[in-house]
């Protein structure tokens, strides 16, 4: 009952660039009495970065009717579809025209929002604590992000996060605190472990304390007055991956266009410098060869890929040299990705 040629013809006619779409048939799963027939699968290859995005030369109404003389640029986001805004399309067209008229001009990098880092640090009481900051900023902010406080919006997403492990693990969820409105955005205060600020334009700042409650968890003897200086490889990797699982999947799609991720280690080299060791956390916390941080203002950025495991790797690749280490020594990394299944194992 399925004519694959019809699908192929529609894609060939309306989608640019041309896509080499593949079709597959699968038998129904054995042992599933409720399944019947077969499965017809259309596999659409990922576009090369230079060709993003695909354009569909026909719009469609909610009733499934074509709109003549229209086009749209759909962006897949999990099991839903968003659409590139008219403002972003206009900017891309003008960028293309400018590139034809003269030499290529690199777009200005996203602003380094140092004030947001200090705001979060003060809000969660970490002024005297070394802090690892994660930041994500749209390169071309479009003003207020809609649905910040709506049902199913960002406030609900922060309150009901899909984490790798329970809420008391090393992630950005909080069972005791809810995100509170702050200047058109949201602040999730979970002192003394972490804090997360989403600004009104979608920019995000996360702060993880480099102390015994968070990054240094279980790395020092449990004695009163002892400050944790050694960073747990496991905690560092999990909190990093959880940040990008939250931001790449739920925040980036709200503001179309390129984003810049940034990682900042503040006060890591001050008295009682924070340390990190190659490999996994030792079975006995006093063993190993931890390396001290070499800067109090480590600040590096990269263009977001939108892939949490890939962006988590980039964050770790930028933080490990602070300790004179290579990211390949992290046991939860494979090639250019952080593997969630290794953390969970």
Residue 339 pLDDT exceeds 60: yes
Environment class of 103 (CB within 10 Å of its CB; exposed 0-12, middle 13-18, buried 19+) = exposed
pLDDT at 105: 47
Mean pLDDT, the chain, whole residue set: 86
Confidence of residue 62 (pLDDT cuts 50, 70, 90): confident
- Average the pLDDT over each of 174-188, 230-244, 275-289, 311-325 and give the range with the smallest value: 275-289
pLDDT at 287: 59
pLDDT at 319: 97
Residue 307 pLDDT exceeds 60: yes
pLDDT at 22: 85
Confidence of residue 39 (pLDDT cuts 50, 70, 90): confident
Environment class of 67 (CB within 10 Å of its CB; exposed 0-12, middle 13-18, buried 19+) = exposed
pLDDT at 288: 64
Confidence of residue 299 (pLDDT cuts 50, 70, 90): very high
pLDDT at 271: 79
Percent of the chain with pLDDT over 70: 90
Decide: 281 and 303 in contact? Cβ < 8 Å.
no
* Cα radius of gyration (the chain): 23
What distance in Å separates the CA atoms of residue 209 and residue 216, rounded to the nearest whole number? 9
Specify the higher pLDDT residue, 273 or 107: 273
What distance in Å separates the CA atoms of residue 52 and residue 62, rounded to the nearest whole number? 25
Confidence of residue 308 (pLDDT cuts 50, 70, 90): very high
Structure tokens at 163: 């984490």
Confidence of residue 53 (pLDDT cuts 50, 70, 90): confident
Polymer length in residues for the chain: 345
pLDDT at 298: 96
Compute how many other C-beta atoms are within 10 angstroms of the C-beta atom of residue 176: 6
What distance in Å separates the CA atoms of residue 166 and residue 168, rounded to the nearest whole number? 6
Residue 75 pLDDT exceeds 90: no
């Amino acid at each position: 009952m399925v004519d694959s040629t019809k699908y192929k013809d529609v894609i060939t006619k309306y989608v640019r660039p041309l896509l080499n779409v593949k079709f597959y048939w699968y038998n129904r799963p054995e042992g599933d009495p409720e399944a019947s027939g077969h499965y017809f699968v259309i596999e659409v290859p990922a576009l090369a970065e230079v060709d993003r995005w695909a354009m569909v030369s026909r719009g469609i109404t909610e009733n499934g009717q074509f709109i003549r003389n229209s086009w749209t640029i759909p962006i897949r986001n999990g099991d839903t579809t968003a659409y590139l805004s008219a403002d972003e399309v206009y900017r891309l067209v003008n960028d293309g025209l400018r590139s034809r008229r003269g030499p290529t001009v690199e777009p200005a990098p996203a602003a380094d929002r140092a004030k947001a880092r200090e705001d979060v640090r003060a809000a969660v009481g970490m002024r005297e604590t070394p802090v690892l900051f994660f930041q994500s900023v749209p390169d071309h902010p479009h003003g207020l992000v809609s649905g910040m406080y709506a049902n199913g919006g960002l406030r609900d997403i922060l309150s009901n996060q899909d984490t790798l492990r329970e809420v008391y693990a090393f992630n950005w969820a909080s069972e005791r605190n809810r995100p509170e409105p702050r200047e058109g955005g949201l602040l999730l205060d979970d002192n003394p472990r972490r804090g997360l600020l989403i600004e009104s334009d979608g920019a995000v700042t996360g702060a993880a304390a480099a102390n015994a409650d968070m990054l240094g968890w279980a790395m020092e003897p449990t004695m009163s007055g002892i400050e944790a200086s050694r960073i747990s490889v496991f905690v560092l990797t999990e909190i990093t991956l959880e940040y990008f699982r939250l931001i790449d999947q739920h925040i980036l799609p709200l503001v179309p266009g390129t984003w810049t991720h940034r990682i900042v280690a503040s006060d890591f080299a001050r008295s009682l410098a924070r340390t990190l060791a190659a490999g996994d956390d030792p079975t006995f916390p006093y063993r190993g060869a931890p390396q001290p941080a070499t800067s109090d203002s480590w600040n590096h950025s990269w263009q977001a890929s939108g892939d949490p495991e890939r962006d988590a790797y980039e964050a770790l690749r930028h933080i490990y040299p602070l300790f004179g280490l290579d990211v390949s020594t992290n046991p939860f990394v494979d090639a250019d990705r952080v593997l969630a299944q290794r953390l969970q194992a």
